[in-house]
Amino acid sequence: MSVGAVREPPLRFSAMVKSIIEAHNLLKCFGDLVAVNRIDFEISEGECFGFLGPNGAGKTSTMKMIYCFSPITGGDLRVMGLDVRSRAKQIKKVMGVVPQEDNLDPDLSVIDNLTMYAHYYDVPKKEARARAEELLKFLQLDEKRKSSISHLSGGMKRRLVIARGLINRPKILILDEPTTGLDPQARHLIWNKLRSLKRSGVTMVLTTHYMEEASQLCDRLVIMNEAKILAQGSPAELIKKFVGREVYEIRAAKLVLNQLRDTFQKHGLEAERHEETLYLFIRDGSEPTEEILAAVKKLDFHHRMSTLEDVFLKVAGRELRE
């Protein structure tokens, strides 16, 4: 059996339930502060679904309601057909959670961090050891099984936190910024392991600030801002809808950029200026003329394919939020 597969789960996903997670009119308030404002989304079994947004957008509050850490204020939220308000204990049994912080027990060895955590799920001692060994091998930590946490690199700690989140063989894996602070090699290793888990049938719910990570892993995602969902779809769908296939980044004085923007718009092209950079979005059916391209190439410019980051900045805005 592959790592992450569920072996005789305590709850079975009803064929009558269309989505493994469903939210309708979901509301979360902290006093007078509305953190999540009447949002709707559905997550299919076996997909990786992402929540993107600037700080304070409401994505973390949404995630915490999904894994029953924070009660909902209003609306409806169901996991595997079960209401989070009345069936939290059952839902938690089929979930694994990978928090943003590496909150490992420094007094325990690598393998003991896993076996002790397995006890919370009533996994028998012998079975917990077998699962821990399997997970350490899967995440390339088996040679560190007896090491203390202080002797692990940042990438190793993240992989161990992921292994811990899998110790109960979850049906759903919650990933809160799984690769924050890691170098490219460690990040790509974790991406490969997460893809393997998805192929084995694990549903993943992800929040990340790395747009490339969302593009690499997410089948679908939402972009949130100010407690609401502003856009929803696959990375490719969102790129096509909001920014088109290519982008020119043009840098010059603001007056020059304003004149260029007006010229582009007169020719039916989409452009927006932020500070001293003008973004020219190239969509199918709205090609720039040779005259316009010649004007662009006289300036400081960068021509590239559009990315999910372009979508994020266009939808959520380019202004810094604390």
- Tell whether 182 and 285 lie within a shared domain: no
> Does 216 reside within a domain?
yes
190 and 291 belong to one structural domain: no
Q: How far is CA 316 from CA 24, 51, 155, 225, 275, in A?
A: 22, 13, 30, 6, 17
Greatest Cα-to-Cα distance within the chain, rounded to the nearest angstrom = 73
Q: How is 262-280 classified by DSSP, letter by letter?
A: HHHHHTT-EEEEETTEEEE
| Same-domain check for residues 132 and 58 | yes
35: DSSP letter: E
**Quick one: how far is CA 28 from the chain centroid?**
20
Whole-number pLDDT of residue 319: 79
pLDDT at 162: 97
300 and 198 within one domain:
no
Looking at the structure, do residues 66 and 201 belong to the same domain, yes or no? yes
Asked whether residue 15 is domain-assigned, the answer is no
Q: What confidence score (pLDDT) does residue 321 get?
A: 65
- Which stretches does DSSP call E strand in the chain? 21-30, 33-43, 48-52, 74-79, 82-83, 95-98, 172-176, 203-207, 220-225, 228-233, 246-251, 270-274, 277-282, 300-305
Split into its structural domains, the chain has a count of 2
Pairing of strands 74-79, 48-52: unpaired
Residues of the chain with pLDDT under 50: 1-2, 4-10, 13-15, 17
Q: Are residues 264 and 287 in the same domain?
A: yes
Is 4 inside a domain boundary?
Answer: no
Same domain, 225 and 265: no
Domain annotation covers residue 3: no
Domain-located, residue 163: yes
Range of 295's domain? Answer: 244-305
Q: Is the same domain home to 133 and 65?
A: yes
Residue 10 belongs to some domain of the structure = no
Residue 172, CA distances (Å) to 58, 284, 285 in order: 20, 38, 41
What CATH number is attached to the domain comprising 212? 3.40.50.300
Is 320 within a domain? Answer: no
The answer to whether residues 50 and 146 belong to one domain is yes
Of the candidates 60, 61, 98, the one whose C-alpha atom is nearest the C-alpha of residue 178 is: 98
CATH code where residue 298 lies: 3.30.70.260
Q: Are residues 224 and 251 located together in one domain of the fold?
A: no
**Is there a single domain that holds both residue 129 and residue 270?**
no
- How far apart (Å, rounded) are the C-alpha atoms in residues 315 and 226? 12
pLDDT in tens, 231-250: 999 999 999 999 999 999 99
Q: Which long-range contacts (CB under 8 A, 24 or more apart) does 313-320 make?
A: 314/242, 314/243, 314/272, 315/223, 315/225, 315/230, 315/231, 315/242, 316/52, 316/53, 316/54, 316/57, 316/223, 316/224, 316/225, 316/230, 317/54, 317/225, 318/274
Specify whether 171 is located in the same domain as 269.
no
Determine how β-strand 220-225 pairs with β-strand 246-251: unpaired
